[in-house]
């Protein structure tokens, strides 16, 4: 009798474990569904399209902001959708990144439907895409967590709610993506480009600190650990490298360090103040100390679209994209493109990253490309280091 009970309990336990395993297979954890790995193409390049501040509402019934009076009658969220489609067809990116305020929560009737409509061109393109949150995404029936959980369930997204290995971290939408070398090359099993995505928050929750949110210590700790892990892997055999693979960071709210520039030392325009947090959380210093991030891309301030270099890191705005977002009549909505190119090795074949370039495209008749320039190159970085050492 006792043996029978023990056997029955064992069978129930095995059945329970089997059911759990099947659930994990059939219903993966949010953001853990099988994702297509990112990789440089046979041409040795990887292109990223950044879309900042769509402020999507309810579609064709949501009016445009800050356009000429004669445009108002026919202008809506559908203009934003048309712009994304044009950009995808023109640039054929390998990855699309949405850097927050994807929807304007106050003006949406159904947040889930608005999110799906906002991301629809990316979903339909079958191109991998990733998203972070801004300060307006959660201003409807869905919380920040709810918005991110809905995003990660959408087709073709590589977004994650948060890192699976971290149990406690502030915000939602902190994760990293690795971009492998060209298939068949000696770098095919290495991440030669690392992309970091962080939740810069919405608004301060501390009564004595007014204004916008910021990247918290728990997020910075995760970033530091992730950066160190990726650097160790990159500098280990096979094809051990002497320095880290370049990294790029994407989040919504600009850092206070974006205020370091004037018209003499940036590319682009600055037409409004820098709306960063009223406190400096030290994340810029954290990135400088890590040593791998070469460029940061944000949104939030729609009338700024500049890039400026500070302590070896390019700080860049995308410029306002969406038509339901505030803008400036006559100043075209715009998108930022980044292209990362690999070097050709002496023995032939594609190697490590050689350069990072950028430009913007305007939503005009010709999708005019402007402000093309090199953000970082392996040769100039090496020269700069040698000069510093020589002058010490």
At 384 the pLDDT is 46
Contact 381, 392 (CB under 8 A): no
CA 364 to chain CA centroid, nearest Å: 25
Residues 6+ apart with CB under 8 A from 280: 214, 255, 256
How far is 114 from 82, CA to CA, in rounded Å?
15
Query: Residue 353 burial (CB < 10 Å; 0-12/13-18/19+)?
Result: buried
pLDDT at 330 over 50: yes
| Digit-coded pLDDT (tens) for 40-78 | 999 999 999 999 999 999 999 999 999 999 999 999 999
At 93 the pLDDT is 98
| pTM attached to this predicted model | 0.89
Q: What is the dihedral of CA 204, 209, 212, 218, to 10 degrees?
A: -60
pLDDT at 115 over 50: yes
| Digit-coded pLDDT (tens) for 219-274 | 999 999 999 999 999 999 989 999 999 999 999 999 999 999 988 999 999 999 99
- Which band of pLDDT confidence, cut at 50, 70 and 90, is reported for residue 95? very high
Other C-beta atoms closer than 10 Å to the C-beta of 185 total 21
At 348 the pLDDT is 85
Q: Where is pLDDT greater, at 156 or 12?
A: 156
At 263 the pLDDT is 83
pLDDT at 380 over 90: no
pLDDT at 370 over 80: yes
pLDDT at 354 over 80: yes
């Amino acid at each position: 009798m006792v043996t029978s009970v023990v056997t029955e309990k064992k069978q129930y336990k095995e059945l329970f474990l089997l059911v759990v395993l099947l659930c994990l297979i059939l219903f993966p954890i949010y953001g853990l569904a099988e994702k297509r790995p990112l990789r440089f193409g046979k041409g040795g390049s990887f292109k990223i399209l950044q879309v900042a501040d769509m402020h999507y509402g309810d579609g064709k019934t949501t009016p445009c902001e800050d356009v000429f009076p004669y445009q108002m009658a026919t202008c809506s969220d559908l203009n934003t959708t048309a712009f994304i489609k044009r950009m995808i067809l023109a640039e054929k990116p390998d990855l699309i990144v949405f850097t927050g305020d994807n929807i304007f929560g106050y003006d949406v009737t159904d947040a889930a439907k608005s999110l799906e409509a906002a991301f629809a061109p990316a979903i339909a393109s079958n191109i991998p895409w990733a998203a972070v949150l801004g300060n307006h995404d959660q201003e409807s029936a869905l919380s920040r967590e709810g918005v991110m959980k809905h995003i990660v369930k959408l087709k073709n997204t590589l977004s994650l709610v948060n890192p699976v290995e971290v149990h406690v971290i502030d915000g939602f939408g902190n994760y990293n993506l690795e971009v492998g070398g060209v298939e068949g090359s000696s770098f095919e099993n290495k991440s030669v480009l690392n992309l970091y995505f962080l939740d810069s928050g919405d608004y301060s929750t501390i009564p004595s600190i007014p204004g916008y949110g910021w990247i918290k210590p728990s997020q910075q700790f995760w970033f530091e650990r992730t950066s160190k892990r990726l650097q160790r892997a990159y500098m280990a055999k096979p094809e051990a490298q002497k320095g880290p693979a370049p990294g790029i960071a994407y989040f919504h709210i600009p850092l206070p360090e974006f205020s370091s520039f004037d018209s003499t030392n940036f590319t682009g325009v600055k037409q409004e103040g820098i709306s960063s947090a009223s406190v400096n959380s030290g994340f810029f210093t954290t990135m400088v100390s890590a040593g791998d991030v070469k460029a940061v891309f944000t949104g939030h301030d729609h009338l700024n679209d500049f890039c400026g270099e500070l302590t070896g890191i390019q700080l860049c705005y995308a410029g306002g994209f969406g038509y339901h977002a505030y803008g400036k009549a006559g100043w075209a909505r715009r998108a930022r493109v980044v292209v990362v190119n690999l070097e050709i090795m002496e023995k032939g074949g594609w190697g490590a990253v050689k350069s990072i370039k950028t430009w913007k495209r305007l939503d005009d008749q010709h999708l005019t490309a402007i402000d093309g320039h090199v953000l970082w190159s392996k040769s100039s970085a090496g020269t700069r280091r040698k000069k510093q050492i020589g002058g010490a």
